[in-house]
Amino acid sequence: MTAPAGSPIAVNEPVLRWSARAQSIADIEKELARIWSTQDLTTEIDGERTRHIAARTSVMNLVVIARRPEVAIRGAATIQALTGRHPSRTIVVQSADPDGPSWIDARVEAHCILPREDAPETCAETIHLTAGGEAGRHLSAIVTPLIIHDLPVTIWWPGEPPFTSRAALDLFAVADRLVVDGSRWSGDGLDRLREMAVFAAETDIAVCDFALLRQSRWREAIASIFDDPDFLPYLRSLRRIAVTYATHDESGATGTTNIVRPVYHVAWLASRLELAVRKPLAEMVPAGRSAKTRPVAGVRPIVGRGLGATLSDGRSDVHVVVRPVVSSMPSGTTLRVELLAERRGSELRADVMAERDLVHVRVWQDGVEVLERHFHAARRDDVDLLEQAIETARRDVVSSGALRSAAELVGPPGDA
C-alpha cells in the first residue's frame, strides 16, 4: 500500500493520490475502504507535507472490459479525462493466461481533481484488475462485488463483445448501459451488429454505439434539409438512399471493410420514416446474374457495386445502395449520403458529403439547386464519445430505432 505524496494540484488536472495492490476481491474491498478512512491524505506544497481536503465522488460505476493491455491503457486514459465531468468508480478488467490457474492482481488507485482553486479536491477510484485462468472467464463474479450499489453501471467494451456468450450475458445483467464501438469490429461488422440488436431487444440494457454517435452531425445535416417547409413534403416520398463509404481494399470486396457506420445511416432513416425492409442488404449484381446474399469475405465481389436493399413505405419502394469507394479516409468512413425523393412529378435530390471537418449539404429541386449549407463535424475522440454515451438518455429513440432497423437491413442469420 502506498499513499503517494501529492504535488500541488493544477485545476482540472487529475492527480494520482493513492495507489495500492491487492490479490483478491476481499483485499480490493479493504483497500477501497482504506483510501477513504485514511486521515493522512497529504500533499506536498513548497516542500511541506500538508493535509488537504478531498471529497470522494462517484456518480456511476464504469466497467471497462479490455481484452488486451493496450486497450486497457487507452480505456483508462479516456476515463481519466472524464474524471471531471463524470467521477466514477472505474473498474478496468483484463484477462490473461486463460489456460493457467486462477489468479487476480489489482491496482487500486484514487485520482483527484481540483475543479476550482477554491474548491476541495474531488476524488474517484480506479481499479485496474487482471484476472488469470478460469477467474478471467467469470467477469460478473469479479465485477459485481466491486460496484457501488445504487449507482448506475455502465460497461464499456472497446473490443468485440460476445453477445451470445454466457459469461458476457451474466456481466451485462448487472449493467444499465453497454457502450461499444461497432465501427471497430472485424470483417464488415454486420453479424455482430445483428447479434447486438437481438441482445438489445431482449434485455433492458441501453446500448450505445460510438459508430452511431459519430454520425450525429450527419443526422443533423440530413434532418435540417427537411426543416424547410418547401422540402418537408418530400420526406415521406423517398425513392432512393445511397451511402458511399471509404475502403482501403482496392478489390472493392464489401465483406472486408467494416460498414456498420454506412448501414447505420440507412437504418436511422428507415427507423424514423417507418420504412419496412422488403429485401435485406445483398450484393448487387448486373442484370442477368443471380444475387446472393451478403458476400462472404474472400469472395471477389463486383468492384464498386456494393450492397443493395429495398425498403418500402407501404406505397412505394425505396432503393438502397451502400457502395465502397477506394479512399485515403479511414476505412468504413461515410463519404456521402444521397437521397432522392419524388412527389407528384417533382423531384428533390439531396447530396450530403464529408469535406474535411465539415459536412456539406446541397439540395436540388427539379434540377435547380435550392439549398447549400455546411455543418461543423470535427472528428470526435473516445473521450467525447464516451461522455456523450454516458449522458444520452437511457433508451434514446435514435439509438434503439436505428439498431432495430439495422438488424432488419442486415437480414436473418441464415443469409450471412
Partner 1 sequence: VAGTRVKVKDPAPVEAPPDQPIPAQPAPRPREAPRTMRALRESRQGKRASRAKPLENVLRHGLRLERVPDPSVLVLFGATGDLAHRKVMPAMYQLWRTNLLPHEFMLLAIGRRPYDDDAFRTEVRASLEQFSRVLPLDDAAWSSFAERIRYHRLDFADSAGFDDLADALDLIDKDAGTRGNRLFYLATQPSQFSEIVAQLGRVGLDHETHDGGWRRIVIEKPFGHDLESAKRLNREVGKVFREAQVYRIDHYLGKETVRNLLVFRFGNTIFEPLWNRRYVDHVQITVGESIGIEERGAFYEETGASRDVLQNHLLQLVSLIAMEPPATFEADALRDEKVKVLRAIGTRLADPASEVVRGQYGAGWVAATQVPGYRQEADVDPESETETFVAARLTIDDWRWSGVPFYVRTGKRLPKRATEIAIQFRAVPHHLFRETGAEPDANLLAIRIQPDEGIMLRFGAKIPGLGLDVRSVTMDFTYGSAFTVDSPDAYETLILDALQGDASLFTRADEVEEAWSLIDPIVEAWASMDAPAFPNYDAGTWGPPEADELLAREGRHWRRL
Confirm or reject binding of residue 148 to partner 1 (CB under 8 A). Answer: no
Task: Judge contact between 222 and 215, C-beta under 8 A.
Answer: no
Task: Judge contact between 177 and 149, C-beta under 8 A.
Answer: no
Confirm or reject binding of residue 119 to partner 1 (CB under 8 A). Answer: yes
x/- binding map, residues 210-249, to partner 1, per CB under 8 A?
A: ------xx-xx-xxx-xx-x--xx-xx-------------
User: Minimal distance in Å, beta carbon 109 to partner 1?
Assistant: 18
| Cell numbers that stand for 54 in this block | 478531498
Task: Select 148 or 235, whichever has its Cβ closest to partner 1.
Answer: 235
Phi/psi of residue 107, nearest 5 degrees: -115, 120
358-387 positions binding partner 1, by CB under 8 A: 358, 372-376, 378
The correct pick among 7, 12, 102, 165 for binding partner 1 (CB under 8 A) is 12
Q: Which of 216, 241, 270 lies closest to 402 in space, CA to CA? A: 270
168-197 positions binding partner 1, by CB under 8 A: none
Q: Which of 377, 249, 266 lies closest to 303 in space, CA to CA? A: 249
Task: Select 217 or 248, whichever has its Cβ closest to partner 1.
Answer: 217
Confirm or reject binding of residue 269 to partner 1 (CB under 8 A). Answer: yes
> Pseudo-torsion of CA 355, 357, 359, 360, nearest 10°?
-50
Confirm or reject binding of residue 152 to partner 1 (CB under 8 A). Answer: no
Per DSSP, 296 falls in state P
The correct pick among 79, 113, 267, 352 for binding partner 1 (CB under 8 A) is 113
Confirm or reject binding of residue 155 to partner 1 (CB under 8 A). Answer: no
Confirm or reject binding of residue 85 to partner 1 (CB under 8 A). Answer: yes
Task: Select 130 or 399, whichever has its Cβ closest to partner 1.
Answer: 399
Task: Select 83 or 95, whichever has its Cβ closest to partner 1.
Answer: 83
User: Minimal distance in Å, beta carbon 394 to partner 1?
Assistant: 13
User: Minimal distance in Å, beta carbon 204 to partner 1?
Assistant: 19
User: Minimal distance in Å, beta carbon 115 to partner 1?
Assistant: 4
CA distance 275 to 23: 54
User: Minimal distance in Å, beta carbon 375 to partner 1?
Assistant: 6
| Cell numbers that stand for 10 in this block | 493544477
Helix (H, G, I), strand (E, B) or coil at 317: strand
CA distance 14 to 115: 10
Task: Select 90 or 130, whichever has its Cβ closest to partner 1.
Answer: 90
The correct pick among 141, 148, 169, 273 for binding partner 1 (CB under 8 A) is 273
The correct pick among 3, 29, 74, 84 for binding partner 1 (CB under 8 A) is 84
CA distance 407 to 242: 18
User: Minimal distance in Å, beta carbon 322 to partner 1?
Assistant: 19
On the 0-12 / 13-18 / 19+ scale of CB atoms within 10 A, 112 is buried
Scan for cell 451485462, then name that residue.
Answer: 172
Confirm or reject binding of residue 319 to partner 1 (CB under 8 A). Answer: no
The correct pick among 289, 397, 412, 415 for binding partner 1 (CB under 8 A) is 397
Roughly how many angstroms between the first and final C-alpha of the chain, as a whole number?
52
Q: Count other Cβ atoms within 10 Å, centred on residue 216.
A: 15
Confirm or reject binding of residue 97 to partner 1 (CB under 8 A). Answer: no
Helix (H, G, I), strand (E, B) or coil at 127: strand
| Beta pairing partners, 100 | none
CA distance 296 to 255: 6
**What crossing angle do the helices spanning 216-225 and 260-272 adopt, rounded to 10°?**
40
Residues that bind partner 1 (CB under 8 A): 12, 55, 57, 59, 83-85, 87, 113, 115-116, 119-120, 122, 216-217, 219-220, 222-224, 226-227, 229, 232-233, 235-236, 269, 272-273, 358, 372-376, 378, 396-399, 401
